[in-house]
């Protein structure tokens, strides 16, 4: 029964996310070195509000930062960009769909990284299919 399977720990999911970054084509991987990848159980109320959601189960990942196309050379003191993965919503999706967890994590990391690069959804799908 899929709903009884234990999900990965926070540390295991963090390792999956780091593995995704390591398999991206070099030109993307290099530009993602500054991004902080974080796994938390759920999004905060502020994070949910930032994407106009109320239900903590609806958000599995989030990009926080200024995308590369929107950056200015005049900026200073900027916090590093972050990609958040939310463990419990990812586990729920994994149990509901039967999709492998590493594939779900890959999808979320690449989708959120796409926001960093200013990519369209088509670009994100293309990047998801690439490996170095």
Cβ(52)–Cβ(43) under 8 Å?
Answer: no
- 113 has a pLDDT exceeding 60: yes
Give the residue from 53, 19, 55, 24 showing the smallest Cα distance to 39: 19
Per-residue pLDDT, 1: 46
Alpha-carbon span 106 to 54, nearest angstrom: 25
Residue ranges covered by each domain of the chain: 8-68+79-126
pLDDT single digits (tens) 12-69: 999 999 999 998 888 888 888 889 999 999 999 999 999 999 999 999 999 998 776 6
- Please report which confidence band the pLDDT of residue 130 belongs to, taking 50, 70 and 90 as the band edges: low
Cβ(111)–Cβ(2) under 8 Å?
Answer: no
Give the residue from 88, 34, 36, 35 showing the smallest Cα distance to 60: 88
Instruction: Tell me the CATH number for domain 8-68+79-126.
Output: 3.30.2010.20
Taking the CA atoms of residue 75, residue 76, residue 77 and residue 79 in that order, the dihedral angle to the nearest 10 degrees is 40
């Amino acid at each position: 029964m899929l709903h009884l399977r234990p999900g990965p720990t926070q540390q295991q999911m963090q390792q999956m996310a780091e593995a995704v970054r390591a398999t991206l084509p070099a030109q993307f991987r290099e530009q993602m070195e500054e991004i902080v990848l974080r796994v938390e159980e759920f999004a905060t109320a502020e994070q949910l509000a930032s994407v106009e959601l109320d239900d903590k189960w609806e958000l599995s990942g989030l990009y926080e930062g200024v995308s590369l196309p929107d950056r200015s050379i005049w900026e200073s003191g900027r916090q590093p960009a972050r990609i958040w993965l939310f463990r419990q919503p990812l586990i729920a999706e994994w149990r509901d769909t039967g999709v492998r967890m590493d594939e779900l994590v890959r999808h979320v990391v690449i989708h959120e990284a796409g926001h960093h690069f200013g990519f369209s959804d088509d670009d994100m799908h293309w990047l998801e299919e690439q490996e170095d």
